[in-house]
Structure formats: C-alpha cells, structure tokens
Amino acid sequence: MSDEGLSEVFAFAQTQIMSRSIRACTFLDKGGTGKTTTAAHLGVALAERGKDVLLVDLAGKQGDLVKHFGRWAAVEDQIAAEDDWPNISTVFQDQWDAIAEKLGEAAVEDLILDTEEGVDLIPAHPGLDSLDAELGNVDDAQDRYSRFDAFLDEYIEPLGYDAILIDLPGLTNNVSYNGLWAARNVIVPVEMGPFESEQAEALRADLDKIATNFDVDVDLAMVLPNKVDSRTKLAEEYLDAFAEAYPDAVAPAHVPVSQDIRNAADRGQTAFALDEPSTTAERAREAFLENADALLERLDAEPAAPVGGERA
C-alpha cells in the first residue's frame, strides 16, 4: 500500500477511536427551576476539571445562557445589525447542509462564541421562536426530532469537545424534543416541592414514551435539587423524598439557594467568577464541581441504562 493510502487508513482509524463528546441537556417541563443556571455552572465546573466544554442555548430568544457569560450585548448588536446569519436556528433548516457546504468551516465557527469562564457557547437567536412551528411541518417524525442530533454528529463532533451541554426551554415542544434526542441524557434541576416531584415523574413517563415511539433511549442522568434552603425542615423532607424516588439519578450534592448566584447572573457571571463568594456561593460552587464529577462518571459508563428503570 502506498504511504498516502496508509495515512488515509490511519486517519480513518483515528476518527473511529476518537471518543465522542459526552452530551447532556437541562430540562424540565416547568419554568424557573434552574435549568439555565445549571447548564452554565455545570459547564464551568467541567471546564475547571480540564474539559473542553460547549454550551448550546436552545432555550429561547431571551438568551439567558449567553447572559450568564456577559456576551448578550454582543449578540444583540449582531442581531440589530442583521449580521446574525447563520445562527442556531439555521442549523435546523432543510437547507443547512447546502449552506454549510457553501460557507465552509466558517459556517460552524461563526456560531460559536468563547467566554471568559473557559467554556464555548452557541447563543440563542430569535429564530428559535418560530422553530417549533417549522419543525411541526416536517412530516417524518424521525426527521423532525433528530435534526439537532444530526447537526452535532456532523458539524460539532469533529471539533473534539469533551462535553456538550444543551439548555432547553421549560416546556415540551419540537425544540426540546430535538435537544433530548441529541443529548440522550437529561439533567433535571428541581426545586423543593411536591409539584416538582410530579414534574420529574411526568418527565420519566415522557422519556419512556420517546423510547417506545422512536427507538431511542433518553436517560435520566441527574435529578439536581436546586435552591435548597437547608434551614427549613421541609427542604430536608423533600431532599429525602427525591433521594428515595431517584436513588441512582439524584445528584450527590444539592445546590443551596444563594442570592450571590442571582446577582452574579445579573452581572453576566457564574458563581465561579466571584472573587469574594459568600458562604452559599462557595457551597454552590462545590456542589456543581461534585455534580460535574458525578456526571462524567455516569455518562462515561456506557452503555446508558434504559429509561424507566434506574441507572446502572
């Protein structure tokens, strides 16, 4: 065999052994439980552990995730200047492959921003607004729900990220289904309350439905108690209840309620960027780091456990 032929064989073999990114999305069919906060903080925690991380905001045009990293103004400027194409909504379109071929590597590079906290990020875009309806017009269900997965496989995996975290809207629609399908692993931030445990139960049933209808398993990778006020007795009871209901999926560390997290977000930072974190912010950081380690351990342990049952 010629040298050239050999190097082609080696290149091919390399792509076969190059490990895929771990993927997860933050999701619960409810607003405000901490999906975006969790995606941002787990992302930075993974980066602190030396991982190359890409965050993707599919959660809607308000751009909450990019706001966490102080890059929203730049994104808004681009949108105002109509210098916002292609964007995250473009990659779902029928013409995406043709667009990507025409633009070459820049097509994907232009989608990705870097941040000061060591993670890369694909921001949201107003085009996400009409995306649910547009996907609804795609006749074939497999095609309708797997477009984002196909995009990650073909265009993002070659970039070699260790982890891809996707932030989803707090409702079940064609966009969140695309996120769940692409990630195959879901992280569910829950607040302490009976309503949340019902939502998490409904999610488990939903994941079962996806598995049966479309022949893909989406694993409940982590149920993450958030905004826990450990001074209250009730919070303790809910923590126990979640631990009992999800013995293998529950996160090893809960995240305390911390005004610092809220303030940092308003300033375009995560709690990791604070020079003088409060006690609660410090505890939140430690919790996210511990949960990031658990996530790596759980997602590296292939194959994933089937939905419905508990994690292996």
- The binding site for ligand ATP (CB under 6 A) comprises 31-37, 59, 64, 170, 226-227, 255, 257-258, 261-262, 265, 284
**What's the CA gap between 309 and 5, in Å, rounded?**
47
The amino acid present at 48, given as its one-letter code, is: E
Nearer to ligand ATP, 91 or 284 (CB): 284
How many chain residues are in contact with Mg ion, going by CB under 5 A?
A: 4
Nearer to ligand ATP, 86 or 179 (CB): 179
Applying the rule CB under 5 A, the residues between 17 and 36 that interact with Mg ion are: 35-36
Total number of residues shown for the chain: 312
65 binds, among Mg ion, ligand ATP, none (CB under 5 to 8 A by kind): none
33 binds, among Mg ion, ligand ATP, none (CB under 5 to 8 A by kind): ligand ATP
Nearer to Mg ion, 149 or 167 (CB): 167
Nearer to ligand ATP, 64 or 219 (CB): 64
CB of 57 to ligand ATP, least distance (A): 10
| Closest to 19 in 3D by CA, of 302, 306, 290 | 302
β-strands 163-167, 53-57: how paired?
A: parallel
β-strands 120-122, 113-114: how paired?
A: antiparallel
CB of 46 to ligand ATP, least distance (A): 17
Nearer to ligand ATP, 164 or 257 (CB): 257
Torsion sign, CA atoms 60, 22, 189, 226: negative
DSSP state of 189: E
Asked whether the beta carbons of 113 and 120 are under 8 A apart, the reply is yes
CB of 265 to Mg ion, least distance (A): 11
Helix (H, G, I), strand (E, B) or coil at 265: helix
Site string for Mg ion, 59-98 (x = CB under 5 A): x----x----------------------------------
Nearer to ligand ATP, 23 or 67 (CB): 67
- Residue with the two structure tokens 């450990």: 230
CB of 237 to ligand ATP, least distance (A): 19
CB of 60 to ligand ATP, least distance (A): 7
Q: What region does 187 belong to: left with phi over 0, alpha with psi -120 to 50, or beta?
A: beta
Q: What region does 191 belong to: left with phi over 0, alpha with psi -120 to 50, or beta?
A: beta
307 binds, among ligand ATP, Mg ion, none (CB under 5 to 8 A by kind): none
Nearer to ligand ATP, 93 or 197 (CB): 197
CB of 258 to ligand ATP, least distance (A): 4
Describe the strand order of the beta sheet including 113-114 as a list of residue ranges. 113-114, 120-122, 53-57, 163-167, 22-26, 185-190, 219-225
**What's the CA gap between 174 and 10, in Å, rounded?**
39
68 binds, among ligand ATP, Mg ion, none (CB under 5 to 8 A by kind): none
Q: Which residues here bind Mg ion, judged by CB under 5 A?
A: 35-36, 59, 64
